[in-house]
Amino acid sequence: MIASGWTLRRTGSLVERNARIYRRSLSPVLASLLEPVLYLVSIGFGVGRLVGKVPGIDVRYAAFVAPAILATTAMNAAFNQMTFVVFTRMKTDRTYDAIVPTPLSIADIALGEVVSAVLSSLLPSVGFVLVMLALGLVVSPGILLTIPAALLVGYAFGGAGLAVTTYLRDFSDFQLIQLVMLPMFLFATTFYPLSVYPGWARPVVEILPLYQSIQLLREPALGIFHWNIAVAVLYLAAVGSFGLALATRRLSRQLLA
């Protein structure tokens, strides 16, 4: 096949292009921080007053919710980048049509975009951790692990998002994405523990990539260190890699048609 393999240098040149655009202005980062911070204050503190302590976990409600919202922040930053932004580059801007004739392979393009997605989830995640710190929601040094964990979340949703984008037909399909992402946000134990669900529903929730992401961030953030986060790491790495491989395969067909 014409587009085979990737190299660090070629992939890096696409990451460099994207970085050039991100670093122009901080306002997209601030905008992507606004919504999670509002949720944290409204639900974490507002509804938190009504909740008191989370059953089975000895922390205040806001400290319980914050790492989960951090996970959704990393998820959204990477996922939106790989769906909305990449789709615009594919269909409206035709950015990749100009890159295909260069030495970059399709694998370089796909990997370069996913790496960019991971990097674009870094700043909002660090920003959110600082907000947590300012609001007194950091309860364990394990919080430091949440940053690399957020990058892994970015990788999982970046890869998955890029694969999803290769299936989109037009902008109205983003409604369908919403129809998956919103329930995941609401049901993946962001706002309450798994124990709220009846036994039969729990495995369904546990399969959600956002549930695994939340586990991966929440436990270290609350000072809980358990082997089950290894499951989350492997699961998210697999989701990201599968998405990336599928996206590369499908993009080869779409961009070289």
Partner 1 sequence: MRAWYAFRYWLTVYARTWRGTIVISFANPMLFLLGIGLGLGHLVDHGHSTTLGGVSYTAFFAPGLLAASAMQTGFIEGGGRVANAAGAVGAYRTAVTTPLEPSEIMAGHLLFIAFRVLTSSAVFVAVMALFGVGTGWWVLAALPAALLTGLAFGAPAAAWAVGVRSIAKTQTLYRFVLMPMYLFSGTFFALSQLPSGIRLVASALPLSQGVALCRSLTLGTASAQTVAARAGYLLALVVVGIVVARITYRRRLHA
Partner 2 sequence: MSGRLLVEARGLTKTYRARKGVPPFRAVDGIDFELGRGEVFGFLGPNGAGKSSTMRMLGAISPVSTGTLRVLGMDPAHEGPEIRSRIGVVPQDDCLDRELTVRENLFVYGRYFGLAKNVIRDRIVGLLAFAQLEEKADAQVETLSGGMRRRLTIARSLINEPEILLLDEPTTGLDPQARHVLWDRLYRLKRDGVTLIITTHYMDEAEQLCDRLAVMDAGRIVAEGSPRELIDAHVTREVLELRFQPDVHAEVAERLRAAELGERIEVLPDRVVVYADDGEVALVAVHEMSLSPITALVRRATLEDVFLKLTGRSLVD
The stretch near partner 2 (CB under 8 A) out of 1-9, 72-80, 162-170, 192-200 is 1-9
Q: Could you give the CA distance from residue 83 to residue 37 in angstroms, rounded to a whole number?
A: 23
Task: Tell which one of 16, 35, 58, 93 touches partner 1 (CB under 8 A).
Answer: 35
Q: Is 60 helix (H, G, I), strand (E, B) or coil?
A: strand
State which amino acid sits at residue 206: E
Q: Does 59 bind partner 1 (CB under 8 A)?
A: no
Nearer to partner 2, 89 or 202 (CB): 89
Q: Could you give the CA distance from residue 187 to residue 50 in angstroms, rounded to a whole number?
A: 20
Tokens in use for 207? 């399969």
Q: Does 256 bind partner 2 (CB under 8 A)?
A: yes
Q: Does 92 bind partner 1 (CB under 8 A)?
A: no
Q: Which of 13, 244, 257 is nearest to 107 (CA)?
A: 244
Q: Which does 35 bind (CB under 5 to 8 A by kind): partner 1, partner 2, none?
A: partner 1
Q: Which of 76, 104, 83 is nearest to 16 (CA)?
A: 104
Nearest approach, Cβ of 20 to partner 2 (angstroms)? 7
Task: Tell which one of 21, 26, 31, 238 touches partner 1 (CB under 8 A).
Answer: 31
Task: Tell which one of 38, 204, 207, 256 touches partner 1 (CB under 8 A).
Answer: 38
State which amino acid sits at residue 251: L
Applying the rule CB under 8 A, the residues between 170 and 209 that interact with partner 1 are: 172, 175, 178-179, 182-183, 185-187, 191-192, 196
Nearer to partner 2, 68 or 99 (CB): 99
CA angle, residues 159, 164, 168, in degrees to nearest 5: 150
Task: Report which DSSP code applies to 24.
Answer: T
Q: Could you give the CA distance from residue 1 to residue 131 in angstroms, rounded to a whole number?
A: 48
Nearer to partner 2, 107 or 129 (CB): 107
Q: Which residues neighbour 182 within 8 Å (Cβ) at sequence distance 6 or greater?
A: none
Q: Site mask, partner 1, residues 120-159, x = CB under 8 A?
A: ----------------------------------------
The stretch near partner 1 (CB under 8 A) out of 36-44, 79-87, 133-141, 228-236 is 36-44
Q: Could you give the CA distance from residue 241 to residue 197 in angstroms, rounded to a whole number?
A: 30
**Residue positions counted in the chain:** 257
Nearest approach, Cβ of 79 to partner 2 (angstroms)? 20
Q: Which residues neighbour 219 within 8 Å (Cβ) at sequence distance 6 or greater?
A: 142, 225, 226, 228, 229
Q: Does 13 bind partner 2 (CB under 8 A)?
A: yes
DSSP per-residue string spanning 97-127: HHHTTSS--HHHHHHHHHHHHHHHTHHHHHH
Q: Which residues bind partner 1 (CB under 8 A)?
A: 31, 34-35, 38-39, 41-43, 46-47, 49-55, 61, 172, 175, 178-179, 182-183, 185-187, 191-192, 196
**Interacting residues toward partner 2 by CB under 8 A:** 1-4, 9-10, 13-14, 16-17, 20-21, 93-95, 97-105, 256-257
